[in-house]
Amino acid sequence: MPKQQRPYRVIISGGGTGGHIYPAVAIANQLRTVNPETEILFVGAQGRMEMTRVPEAGYKIMGLWISGLQRRLTLDNLSFPLKVLSSIRASHKIIKDFKPDAVVGVGGYASGPLLYAATARNIPALIQEQNSYAGITNKLLAKRVDKVCVAYPNMESFFPADKLVLTGNPVRSDIMALEGKREEAMQHFNLNPDKKTILVIGGSLGARTINQSMAAGLESIAKAGYQLIWQTGKAFYPQAQQLEVKYKAQGIGAHEFIKRMDLAYAAADVVISRAGALSISELCLAGKPAVLVPSPNVAEDHQTKNAMALVQQEAAILVKDAESAEKLISTTLQLLQDEKEQQRLHQNILKMARPNAAIDIVNELIKLIK
């Protein structure tokens, strides 16, 4: 890469869930890898999880007064136009003060006003869409930005074909380096290295159906001699903690949130997960046999579309949310008993990994700046 004259200045905007935040942080980390002097500012939505997660990753963030439109009539909806105008005005001020060379939108409420303001000032702009079904903010911004980086092929129905670049989803770099971490993982989660381990991840906010299915199946899991790393999310955690007391000796561990996801993947033999775009990208890179339970509470059922992209390649098993109570535990135990099937899923899911996603996105961004 040719030597640049001065450090770049980049604003990265978006958030709301881990599925938006972690790709954003991975892009920032790659920008710093290219040039450690790069100046990066995040812009998020006040009160959303990016306001804590981004500073934890070592980056500065500013918050906009913005939220989404509710599907039913609420007081929040009445204030929505005011929030949009206020956020666009605040975005113009942020851009004027920071003077970015380029802006990146990763989806979520805050990226709308920020990228609208940036493109109005002709600042190079790129959006990154994580899902196989495009989010509303990114669809609205697509006409205004210069490039659209996507994780799935055939996204022309959402975005202008001449702006599309297939990059995959950037994930945390530690997930690409699981080799040799199993022993550390077993110690970290206080597990028995001679037993097989299930990892349950319902997304950064938890997943009620998966949690209820796990709670009902703890007896079967313990009896079969398997261990469990169970990320419950905030709402279900108190209930899971009470259940954990009974099964702790058998290696059943509940966690509100897992910070060391690299160790969680390194410990896991089989993973139960929602089918959010980021979870799927991580599973592909980790090469883990997975049972996917797509969330039904998402726009256009995009998690089922994400999951089917894997199922069609025989790279994962699908259990519908509505059938989770009766099928999830038995399907998972069956998979744990079938070494051949685990190996087949492992090999097929690895083929779908895109380890260079962050590098490819940053290269596109640098082309825009130049």
At residue 2, what is the residue type? P
At residue 70, what is the residue type? Q
Task: Determine whether the annotation assigns residue 137 to a binding site.
Answer: no
Token readout for 158 is: 């959402």
The phi and psi torsions of 173 (rounded to 5 degrees) equal: -65, -25
3-state helix, strand, coil in the chain (%, to 5): 50, 15, 35
Q: Where are the alpha helices (DSSP H) in 179-254?
A: 182-188, 208-223, 237-247
Smallest CA-to-CA distance from 300 within 148, 106, 134, 151 is with: 134
Task: Determine whether the annotation assigns residue 48 to a binding site.
Answer: no
Task: Determine whether the annotation assigns residue 172 to a binding site.
Answer: yes
Kindly state the helix (H) or strand (E) to which residue 140 belongs, with its residue range.
helix 136-141
Beta partners for residue 127, in sequence order: 105, 148
Task: Determine whether the annotation assigns residue 312 to a binding site.
Answer: no
Kindly state the helix (H) or strand (E) to which residue 160 belongs, with its residue range.
none
146-180 per-residue burial string, b: 16 or more CB within 10 A, e: under 16: bbbbbbbeebeebbeeebbeebbbbbbeebbebee
Q: What is the DSSP letter of 79?
A: T
Which residues are annotated as part of the binding site? 17-19, 131, 172, 204, 258, 303
Which residues make up each annotated binding site for UDP-N-acetyl-alpha-D-glucosamine? Answer: 17-19, 131, 172, 204, 258, 303
